[in-house]
Amino acid sequence: MLTSLHIEGDSLLHRLPVRVKLIALVALSIVLFLSGSLVLQAIAFVLAAGLYLSVGLPLKEAIARVGIVFLTIFFLAAVNLFLLPVGEVATLTLRLMALVLFAAAVTATTTISAFMDEITVLLTPFERLGWLRAADVSLALGLVLRFVPDIFARYEAIREAHRARGLPIRPLTIIGPLIILTLKDADTIAAAIDARGFRRQ
């Protein structure tokens, strides 16, 4: 149900460590936002598009992944054409597309566990301050992945119950029961976690 957007492969981006890719993404966005040069944005766009298309995604899937974001970008670009000089619109649009493509390339070439390792490192300073525990973040993430299929099954059961009674499927009559039924499990799950000593309290 929740399959990661990561794709197997052996491209340059696949081999780079996550940290390098994330720093590159941040650096690229800073450089592109500070620079007003159309040529630079165009070069960045071509490079990002090349990188994204070389990570091994089938073309159809590659387009589908950035499709909605690009649609928004094009719509706003069309609006901008009435308000701003054409050159500026081109600069803004190319910059945004370059960033989106590079970000999509990073997502496609990084596994969830690699991201999680990096997040654990990033959380270390907060852990030292005693604000949170990195292990809790991983636990919470694991819980989400574990319970999404259950909650979806519960949604389908509630929908079936509506059908059986001939009721229309309305957000209100679905969301209330779905949330109450799900959150009522919290005590049992928390007790199970504590009983196993996962959080060492």
Partner 1 sequence: MNTRDLVLIALFAAIVVVLGLIPPITLGFIPVPITAQSMGVMLAGCILGAKRGALAFLLFLLLVAIGLPVLSGGRGGLAVLAGPSGGFIIGWVVATFVTGLIAERAVREGQAETRQFIGFFLASVLGGIVVLYAIGMPWVSAVTGTPLLTVATGSLAFIPGDLLKAAIATLAARAVYAGYPLLPARA
By CB under 8 A, how many residues form the interface with partner 1? Answer: 74
**CA–CA dist 47, 9 (Å, integer):** 19
13 is a contact residue toward partner 1 (CB under 8 A): no
Residue type at position 153 = A
Question: Which of 54, 115, 120, 162: binder of partner 1 (CB under 8 A)?
Answer: 115
**123 is a contact residue toward partner 1 (CB under 8 A):** no
Cβ pair 40, 32 in contact under 8 A: yes
> Does residue 14 touch partner 1 according to CB under 8 A?
no
Is residue 48 close enough to count as binding partner 1 by CB under 8 A?
no
Q: Which of residues 77-106 bind partner 1 (CB under 8 A)?
A: 77, 79-80, 83-84, 88-89, 92-93, 96, 99-104, 106
Record the tokens describing residue 129, joined without a space: 């301050």
53 interacts with partner 1 by CB under 8 A: no
**Residue 4, phi then psi, degrees to nearest 5:** -65, 155
Q: Distance (Å, rounded) from C-alpha 134 to C-alpha 154?
A: 30
- Contact criterion met (CB below 8 Å) for 158 and 180: no
CA pair distance 97, 4, nearest whole angstrom: 22
CB atoms within 10 A of CB 48: 22
Sign of the dihedral through C-alpha 46, 51, 55, 61: negative
| Residue selected from 59, 129, 164, 183 as contacting partner 1 according to rule CB under 8 A | 183
- Binding residue for partner 1, selected from 144, 157, 161, 167, defined by CB under 8 A: 144
| Per-residue binder mask for partner 1 (CB under 8 A), 17-46, x = binder | --------x---x-----------------
Q: For residues 35 and 182, which CB has a smaller minimum distance to partner 1 in the complex?
A: 182
CA-closest candidate to residue 108, choices 33, 21, 44: 21
* Binding test (CB under 8 A) with partner 1, winner from 16, 38, 137, 162: 137
Q: How far is the CB of 139 from partner 1 (least distance, A)?
A: 7
Residue (15 or 113) nearer to partner 1, CB: 113
